[in-house]
Structure 1
Amino acid sequence: MRFANQVAIVTGALGGIGSAIVQALAAEGASVGLIDLDARSGAEREAALQAAGHRAKYANANVSSFDECKAAYDTISAALGGADILVNNVGISPKTQGKALRVWEMPPKEWETVVSVNLNSVFYMTHLAAPHMMDKRQGRVINMSSVAGKAYCDIVAAHYAATKAGLIGLTRHWAAELGEYDITVNALAPGRISTPLLKTVPQEINDAVTRVTALGRLGTPQEVADACLFLASAQAAFVTGQVLDVAGGWLMT
């Protein structure tokens, strides 16, 4: 029970990777705060976790809004306590008819939406969580980047790549800012992960990724969650400002 008496807040908590992270943290003793945008599913997940003996609280929020992030953080903090572990997992990667739009095709509104969800929300949530961690002189912030933030990936658009690269910059900067408080800040960079969302993608795309992945397969949400547990744990107490690929060797260059 590595996280007994700790509170973990996860954004994008109802998606494939988010759900796996929530379940893994709860199984290791953490009280879990879930933030997402589906009130009905969120309430059901909260009830299921509580029925299994876990402390859990769901808060509905459009994380592109600071006010909604604050309301969600306050709701979870009132129920469970302030965040000892913050997993900035939420992320979107819009497609049009299954295709990532190129710079001359992309509506500015789509760019703004992706930046707001993928990047601004991470600032908002870390801004809210940091004071509690600083008071305790202990904390973990884990940002969900992507291998697309480190290398060219033609199956995502520029807004997604830019925000995931931006998260790497934030990770390194905040690691330096918060290090004196014994708060570590790290990032995960998943590759192609087999989530329900991938079922909407043409199989030939996933097959093409598999062919150029060193391990010859897609990853699983649990494998991302396992990496997240390591970075959140005491075993990673001297690891900060780092980006850990969970990609099976895809886009190594």
Structure 2
Amino acid sequence: MQQCVLVVGPGRSGTSTVSGVLSRLGVDFGSDLIAADYSNPKGYFESASFLRLNKKLYAICHDAKKVDAPSLEEVLKLKDKHSIKCEECINSIKKNSLLWGLKAWRVPMNEFFMDFIGDFKVVRVSRNVDCTAKSLVKHVNKRKGVEKINFEEAKNITKGYSKEIELFVSRYKPDLIDLSYEDLINRTEFTVRELASFLDIPCTEQRLTLAADFVIDKEEIESRRSEFNAERKNIFRQLKAKLF
């Protein structure tokens, strides 16, 4: 029987890192993953088609420029109307994989897809609120066409995400594991073993080591970001040379 691993957590809380670890443990997140970039130098482990559909549905039921998510009521009003597209999207991701994964974009939006996910477990990721908010400010304020936010607003958004997740958990009462980003960084091997055990993944020491090695420290993250910056500057120089 197929089972979905649903990764949820506030934006910038470490859900991409956790999803990367899960991928190395054998969870299939699909083939059309969003490419790595400056913000997530090791990748997002997020289906591009799933994200595109989420954003289209978000724009239909909510003001796309707002950072807060639509309410459950807003989503439920439109759920049946878009069910065919949602089912096709989920089927294209899970295919025949026995253990497949979804990184939730905004938890209230999950309601569009829940009828087609089937059996699932939840990995709920948390991180220090202040650290999450600082990262969110940096991430949101460099995007075009989105309202700028300050630190206090980011903290409120982060807390809002957590409330959305609480409502989702209360609604579905799934089999769930709470995973701290700080534990993943500071007690990597122990946390990866805990995650594998929760998902009943039989792992060799080699696979556990491979999954644990996905977690990198701040120095390596900054090094990879420098590489992205250098590549971006090089592309800009080449375009400039062609134009002038």
Q: Which TM-score applies when normalising by structure 2?
A: 0.40
Higher relative contact order (CA 8 A, sep 6+): 2
Q: Which TM-score applies when normalising by structure 1?
A: 0.39
